[in-house]
Amino acid sequence: MNIQKSNYHHTIILYPGIEKYEILQEVMTPMINELNDLVINGLKDSTGKIWKIKPYFSSDWKFLSIILGFNASNANYFCPWCLCTKKDIGNKNKVYTIEKIMNQLDPAFFNHHSSEKPPPGHIKPPLLKIIPLDYYIADELHIMLRIWNRLWLLVLQELKVQNRFNDSIRAVIITEMHRISVTFQFWQDQETQSWAHTSLIGGDKEAVLKSFNFKVIFNEERALLINHLWRDFYQLYKDMKSKETDPTQFANKAKQWDVTPYMHVLIHHLPEFMEQHQRFGLSAFSCSPVEKKNHEHISSFFQKTMKDGGKEAERKSAIFEIFTL
């Protein structure tokens, strides 16, 4: 079974709405109760054997924070796993480890007779308290995507500062993207006159990390530096996914990068996850197939459902239609 394929990932909750704590708390209640029962009592198969269940959790940062009842990534206490603050995020001499445990949250939120306070940053009860905090795994895909976005933004900003972000340079970028088999376009918003571009998915961003040649838009010296930067991060991303990567060596490589909340996780906590869950490898917890499943659902909604429309007698819920495809 290849768990990297979307058809081995199954949707158990699908609802119309936004990612909001209160909504998720309501729609997830049946699943939470069932998961609690599975963890406590195990799963009995047809032979009577009881299998012990150890659940893990992986998602993008926003959703993980919502499930944990935690601050957003731009808050002072931004890290779900440690007590690092924005003030200390640039301290490369300090090693941060997973220092919080779910048992700290239990009495603070679920025992009304307890005077214990939750660790800073935890503002609501965790929705999945049955999962230990060190089993909430940072998703390597979303870490790559966010850091890629930052790197690409810096490239475009540099071109704009140099007054070179014009039709000619945009055409060159599009041509180079096509060379590496990435579909990419720029367009100008008619109201704001600002330029937007194609939002790339994970595989395309990885292709740009690996193969985009910045010599087509920068002078040789500058391009050499940027190419080196992007290829270094591409190698770091490959190392991140490999079960063979030494966590200590990975941490030392990652420390060479500027620190943002995502880089903080890359430097300090991913090596811990690598070591703790090395028999699986971090790629086992990748959200890439889940993102693919999400893409399939979106495509199904627009191409294979009535979008909640149709005549009264024929009208069906789009969610129901997606589940029956």
Q: What is the pLDDT of residues 96-107, one digit of tens each?
A: 999 998 888 877
Tell me what pLDDT residue 325 has. 59
For the segment 110-117, the average pLDDT, to the nearest whole number, is 76
Domain boundaries, the chain: 57-137, 141-283
Task: Please report which confidence band the pLDDT of residue 173 belongs to, taking 50, 70 and 90 as the band edges.
Answer: very high
Residue with tokens 């936004």: 18
- Using the predicted structure, report yes or no on whether residue 14 has a pLDDT greater than 80: no
Instruction: Measure the CA–CA gap between 235 and 231, rounded to whole angstroms.
Output: 6
- Rounded to two decimals, the pTM is 0.80
pLDDT above 70 (res 312): no
Q: What share of the chain is helix, strand, coil (3-state, %, to 5)?
A: 50, 5, 40
Confidence band for 10, pLDDT divided at 50, 70 and 90: confident
Closest CA to 206 of 142, 291, 292, 144: 144
Looking at residue 80, its pLDDT comes to 94
Q: Please report the pLDDT score of residue 179 as a whole number.
A: 98
Task: Give the per-residue pLDDT at 3.
Answer: 76
Name the one residue in this structure whose structure tokens are 């290849």. 2
Of the ranges 79-83, 105-109, 237-241, 243-247, the best mean pLDDT one: 79-83
Which structure tokens are listed for 69?
């009842």
For the chain, give the percent of residues with pLDDT over 90. Answer: 54
What was the pLDDT predicted at 34?
94
pLDDT in tens, 246-298: 998 998 888 888 678 888 998 899 999 999 988 888 888 888 888 887 777 77
How far is Cα 138 from Cα 58, in angstroms, rounded to an integer?
6
pLDDT tens-digit profile of 119-145? Answer: 999 999 999 999 999 999 988 888 888
pLDDT of residue 11: 81
At residue 313, the pLDDT reads 65
Residue type, 313: A
Sorting pLDDT into bands at 50, 70 and 90, what band is 311?
A: low
* Residue 183 pLDDT grade (very low, low, confident, very high; cuts 50, 70, 90): very high
Instruction: Tell me the two tokens of residue 164.
Output: 């070179």
Tokens representing residue 20 in the block: 């909001």
Predicted confidence at residue 166, as pLDDT, reads: 96
Average pLDDT over residues 148-167: 95
* % of the chain at pLDDT higher than 70: 95
- The pLDDT assigned to 181 comes to 97
* pLDDT over 90 (residue 22): yes
Give the pLDDT of residue 207.
Answer: 96
Closest residue by Cα to residue 229 from 155, 299, 297, 287? 155
**In terms of Cα–Cα distance, which of 184, 97, 81 is closest to 135?**
81
Q: Are 43 and 50 in contact (CB under 8 A)?
A: yes
* Residue-averaged pLDDT of the chain: 88
